[in-house]
Structure 1
């Protein structure tokens, strides 16, 4: 039976008929030839008596259940990152509680990967006086996460971006952080399209100069760096940087516009890790079944099938991450609600209001086009509920 719904699309109110795509069937025992982390969202508690713009309340059971789903699909979890609204509603004490609960849950899942965001967000940028304050903030979070047995993703610091006077200050901070890390870390370079407070990170607004500074830090400490995730939405720069990484250091793509071709790779470069990117992506939260199925096909040598599955998800991702890119979390959570992975569409910080009804309608259409509405009848029912809330 066909399903249709009236949507406010670019041409006005239009009747849209769903394509009735068969759901993706990821491998029962996923095996990939890429490391693939999904930066996972948090599920808010809509019944908590809090001021949602000021206080954080998390539905822990639903949040951990979503991570268990990602692990079952063979994806790792990048915990307490910007996808979990770190710095946009999720504070450091709640982030640490989230990391603890994820690590505990992962112990019951053979092979489950978890890497946890370590930042300086307990230090308000305007309260930072110098780089020593930033170092102390990083050290506090490092100690807390490593005490739980967690591996670190060293997140970009708003406080460091504010007080640093040039690349030398970044070198000093990262030298201290890397020197103390118990295990090799993943560095995270988040562009200012994701967070305007990070403009000029690595000591320069010139991205070529910034890349030289980042490569200098990695080259000086290759044994301490598992890889670097860059989220610049610039595939050319990612490839150029990938080919210059030291042996043993991976490029984790954070490019939610071009991930399919970056993960597939171009086969060029001196080292195997120079020829493709691994993945640490927020969009993998929303497209997890397709990502798992595609990565399984790639590992089996079926590159054409990998592209057939993953390429149709790219227009959806580009829409979710459209400017202002920092509001992409709203689309991620909307997808989880449409697909029945949470019972409501509310977010930490009230961020469900960050996108327009027209944005959600186009997201719905693109998700259907990519075969990512896992339960079409439920998705239509929930989309109609949202439309009714807006007077349609």
Structure 2
């Protein structure tokens, strides 16, 4: 099968699809690693809302994708940045998403994003307002029986005067949580508004604060997801965590190595890239559980170049690549996103993702993927 693809200069060349499907699998109970896929949402393209206004979700297709993930044995990280939280998905819609996922999949392993995004950071005057905002979302999520992943707060980074403010906020918020939570250390590559989180731009000082916070609240912490795209920092922190506190990799550049681990430990996974890689991730981790590390790497290592393109700078727009692949694979009937985010990447980004996804065997229906890629090229005048 062939398609004509332009390069970054507009020169068109024939691309012949490999067409070899990747291996797929399902994670059983008690897998070798806990695996959460941070899941995207499907926008409703028929809404009258302007792209810059409140978003609208196609609930049927959004829930269908969550059933698909759960059917693979994967956990779901709900209402996180992959779902465009803070970039099209506001708090009322996020809470509705959390409610629907809980009702649809009551027995699935789901962690739900809890933050302060209903606040306008520019209008926040003190740390008390941040605490109240966190507690409002904690209460709402727990009221529907949801587990919590405690997201970083843009408002907190604006008003905190130092590490003591962070320690106080997390202490008070964690005390209100009924179950141990997953913490989320989101780097500024994913959200520039979080630069200086933990009261410093120094990783060493930030690490000291985070470890102190976890040590003060260890019974309330299941683990921490670190999204800094730096494997050495993650490994260093992983080795310093208190016993029983898990590391969940959020490194979409180095996940095979970090999940496999070393003689001193390993990372579980909570990854946005495991939305498009879901069946391959389930297969790879099942092989890791069988002790077949070679098969684990044979499955996941070839996907790293694709992940590095999807998450290339500016990294916060990686959701565009995730939804693009969902469209090519037939999980939705259109390539429209909340806030018009489908326009946040240039055409060469999409053509490179197409090539690399085919090389990894990710197209469930190559004919459909080619047909939809041709329609995108036509839109750009590049058919």
1:112-150 superposed Cα distances (whole Å, 9 cap, x missing partner):
210000000011101110100000000000000000000
1:49-75 superposed Cα distances (whole Å, 9 cap, x missing partner):
111221110000100110110011111
- The within-5 A match list for 1:326-341 is 326-341=316-331
1:43-101 superposed Cα distances (whole Å, 9 cap, x missing partner):
00001111122111000010011011001111111000000000001110000000000
The secondary structure found in structure 2 opposite 1:183 is coil
In structure 2, stretches of 5+ residues that fail to align are: none
* CA positional deviation for 1:22: 2.5
- The within-5 A match list for 1:305-384 is 305-384=295-374
The secondary structure found in structure 2 opposite 1:246 is coil
- The within-5 A match list for 1:168-183 is 168-183=164-179
- The within-5 A match list for 1:78-157 is 78-107=77-106, 110=107, 112-157=108-153
Distance in 1 (CA, whole Å) between partners of 2:28 and 2:159 is 47
* CA positional deviation for 1:180: 1.2
The secondary structure found in structure 1 opposite 2:274 is helix
Distance in 1 (CA, whole Å) between partners of 2:138 and 2:239 is 29
**Which residue pairs with 1:236 in the alignment?**
232
**Which residue pairs with 1:272 in the alignment?**
none
Q: How many residues align?
A: 381
* CA positional deviation for 1:31: 5.8
Q: Does structure 1 residue 289 correspond to structure 2 residue 288?
A: no
8 Å CA contact retained: 2:328, 2:369: yes
* CA positional deviation for 1:27: 3.6
* CA positional deviation for 1:179: 1.0
Correspondent of 1:158 among 154, 160, 165: 154
8 Å CA contact retained: 1:252, 1:279: yes
**Which residue pairs with 1:24 in the alignment?**
23
Distance in 1 (CA, whole Å) between partners of 2:114 and 2:19 is 42
**Which residue pairs with 1:217 in the alignment?**
213
Distance in 2 (CA, whole Å) between partners of 1:146 and 1:83 is 21
Distance in 2 (CA, whole Å) between partners of 1:255 and 1:13 is 34
Distance in 1 (CA, whole Å) between partners of 2:66 and 2:60 is 10
The root-mean-square deviation of aligned C-alpha atoms, in Å, is: 1.1
Distance in 2 (CA, whole Å) between partners of 1:170 and 1:22 is 47
Distance in 1 (CA, whole Å) between partners of 2:202 and 2:111 is 29
8 Å CA contact retained: 1:31, 1:296: no
8 Å CA contact retained: 1:30, 1:73: no
> With structure 1 as the length reference, what TM-score do the two structures score?
0.96
